[in-house]
Structure 1
Amino acid sequence: MAIKQSSLVIGRQPLIEALQTGKPIDKILLHKNASGDVIQQIRLLAREKQVPIQQVPQEKLNGLTRANHQGVVAFTALVQYMDLQQVIDHVVSNGELALFLMLDGVTDVRNIGAIARSALCCGAQAIIIPDKGVGALNEEAMKSSAGALEHIHICRVNSLLKAVDTLHLNGIQVFTSEMRADKNVFELDMTSPCCVIMGDEGRGVQAHLAKAADAFFRIPMKGNFDSLNVSVAAGIVLYEAMKQRL
């Protein structure tokens, strides 16, 4: 898919201004040999705004734009990323029970879009994603979500494990999907504040992340074919949570 120039921030000073004014940035591509005070300022601002930086060769940047990029090209985000604690505070202040999703290694943007659609329909307030190792929330993701990504809080964090700690500190239980779990999804008590971790279809939830969860569950299936698409699985879990809360 060709990248529209309007979706790029090109050059050092334009990127600094974009970061300082709070323009949502999805990712920064930095020439691997770039250095100097301005580059250091970009790094500091990116860390503050939790924007991931990827170091790339000159050819990668030249392939994105013919403009004078000065070793810096950034992708603008189509969604406004939110701070997890602020979202939790907002949900609590509204008198709502937290229902969050955490995505670990889900790279297919169409799946992410479909998950957002189900999440919004079932009353979930937020989706938590890592700043690396997840599909970009681009035009295709937006289209797959039927606009849901614009109406649900998206929290991008630099550590899913730290995000689990934040959830626990706020009294939010964390459940993890696991095919070999003893408990079925409908046996979970989802009437309390909770967050569900959904992992990549092939790898599943990372072991260190699963270890931090409060409970494991599986989605029972009939027959020997035991592989559900992650967006379908997320929809089943979210519907169960909504059913219990109605």
Structure 2
Amino acid sequence: MAIKKTSLIIGRQPLIESLQSGRPIDKILLQKNTGGEIVHTIRELAKKNNVPIQVVPVEKLNSITRANHQGIIAFAALVQYLDLQQVIDHVVGKGETPLFIILDGVTDVRNIGAIARTAVCCGAQAMIIPDKGVGALNEEAMKSSAGALEHLHVCRVNSLMKAVDELHLNGIRVFASEMTAKKALHEVDWKEPSAVVMGSEDKGVYPALMKICDEQFKIPMAGAFESLNVSVATGMILYEAMKQRQAPNP
């Protein structure tokens, strides 16, 4: 995956040109109460390109740049976001067994970077993120990943629910960590095509998303302390998956 140079896209016409060219964009900041035909066009292009729009007061835009922003600023992405189906086809085409990570509400960019680093070390091929409610893959995330985001496919989707449906259609089972689950982490068969949902530390996995997962598991604990940092928990899960996949066949 190619790393893109970070930059601001300031003004309406430059943003339209970027959207029309397919340039990766993390998000768009739109001044509150801004309308008109050109803004409508930007909204349509953003929707087509799966780019989130955040409505903000003018003070927010003025704090970012002193240039004539015309009520709109966008952040160019540091990574090239990829289509989920194309990534699945690519991984399977290489003869690999899919092992994907799905991030649900993980907002700390340092955690995201650490998760990416562990993912690459443990053989996971892709990270699936929603277009809203997740930390931006900015310079801090890149630094935390120690370059791992250059070697991991990143798929940004407008619905994690739909992404899980797409995984299911491709024969990929989806798992989620849940403290009250009966099955332990090591009892899950990670040798099969798999994806694991990691939720935020405060809210966990969204209930509706948890419901459509194929199976839940728990990470066994030595004591009563139940809180694990999300990047640490992801590391434990992915290491177990790698251990099972590298074990010799009986």
Query: What TM-score, normalized to structure 2?
Result: 0.94
SS of residue matched to 2:201: coil
Task: State the distance in 2 between where 1:96 and 1:44 align.
Answer: 37
1:28 is aligned to 28
1:76 is aligned to 76
Task: State the distance in 1 between where 2:32 and 2:151 align.
Answer: 36
1:18, distance to aligned residue in structure 2 (A):
1.1
Task: State the distance in 1 between where 2:147 and 2:22 align.
Answer: 22
Runs of at least 5 residues in structure 1 that lack an aligned partner in the other structure? 1-5
2:225 is aligned to 225
Task: State the distance in 1 between where 2:186 and 2:47 align.
Answer: 40
Q: Matches of residues 1-246 of structure 1 in structure 2 within 5 Å?
A: 7-246=7-246
The one-letter code of the counterpart of 1:60 is: K
Runs of at least 5 residues in structure 2 that lack an aligned partner in the other structure? 1-5
Task: State the distance in 1 between where 2:243 and 2:65 align.
Answer: 49
SS of residue matched to 2:112: helix
2:3 is aligned to none
SS of residue matched to 2:46: helix
Aligned residues: 241
The one-letter code of the counterpart of 2:243 is: K
1:33, distance to aligned residue in structure 2 (A):
1.7
* Poorly superposed stretches of 4+, deviation over 4 Å: none
SS of residue matched to 1:81: coil
Task: State the distance in 2 between where 1:101 and 1:10 align.
Answer: 33
SS of residue matched to 1:179: coil
Query: What TM-score, normalized to structure 1?
Result: 0.96
1:225, distance to aligned residue in structure 2 (A):
1.2
Question: Cα RMSD between the aligned structures?
Answer: 0.9
Task: State the distance in 2 between where 1:41 and 1:94 align.
Answer: 39
Task: State the distance in 2 between where 1:38 and 1:95 align.
Answer: 46
